[in-house]
A and B are shown apart, each in its own frame.
Chain A
Amino acid sequence: DTAVSQTPKYLVTQMGNDKSIKCEQNLGHDTMYWYKQDSKKFLKIMFSYNNKELIINETVPNRFSPKSPDKAHLNLHINSLELGDSAVYFCASSQVGGSSYNEQFFGPGTRLTVL
């Protein structure tokens, strides 16, 4: 059983389009995250939700909008895609309530290519 899943795995689109990436975790965790990994493999946090509440909102263009319909899902919507948005986007989850020491579990990633 996949713990953290993302769809789609690959996404190729034109500049200016709007796209969404979906993430689901079946671990029962209360916190979910979106990361961006650039071409140099540098990993940067974008957003995090704890029990559907936004708790981390890094310096990200407002074209990026996360949405958490419930604790098990965190989606990422991107408007007006730009070439610089091309990257691999990782979803992750962890259990924060009760302990702040728990590790994060990562999804397989979504490779976004903007043409």
Chain B
Amino acid sequence: AQSVAQPEDQVNVAEGNPLTVKCTYSVSGNPYLFWYVQYPNRGLQFLLKYITGDNLVKGSYGFEAEFNKSQTSFHLKKPSALVSDSALYFCAVRVANDYKLSFGAGTTVTVRA
């Protein structure tokens, strides 16, 4: 079975500071990893994904994530957070030949001005 853990329910940072949202996963086989963001009363928006290749993946809105196989992690990062980054962030995982995408519980990010 595949699963995702987001150990922090909430992350609070000041605008301009670095932002990190943590994600660890558990799968049998090679993982395909995704990050999504959900703004209030909206659907999920895709940010970035790791399939294979370079462990550092760059995505939308200045976000990036680093795949670490030994630590089974895929943490989301942004060098300088904006107030507009305040939202709910979901990490998700799937494996090849499986249509099912398993989501973490989500991390609420609050960026204060």
- Contact mask for chain A residues 43-55; partner B; CB cutoff 8 A; 1 contact, 0 none: 1110010100001
Summarize B's interface: helix, strand, loop or mixed.
Answer: strand
Mask: chain B, 43-68; 1 = CB below 8 Å from A; 0 = not: 11110010100000000000000000
Contacts of A86 in B (CB 8 A): none
CA distance A49 to B41 in the complex (A): 25
Question: Is A96 in contact with B99, judged by CB distance below 8 angstroms?
Answer: yes
Q: Is the CB of B43 within 8 A of A100?
A: no
Residues of chain B at interface, number, CB under 8 A: 24
Contact B103 A56 (CB under 8 A): no
Binding site for B on A (CB under 8 A): 4, 31, 40-45, 48, 50, 55-56, 90, 92, 96, 100-101, 103-109
Residues of B bordering A, CB below 8 Å:
32, 34, 36, 38, 41-46, 49, 51, 88, 90, 94, 96-97, 99-103, 105-106
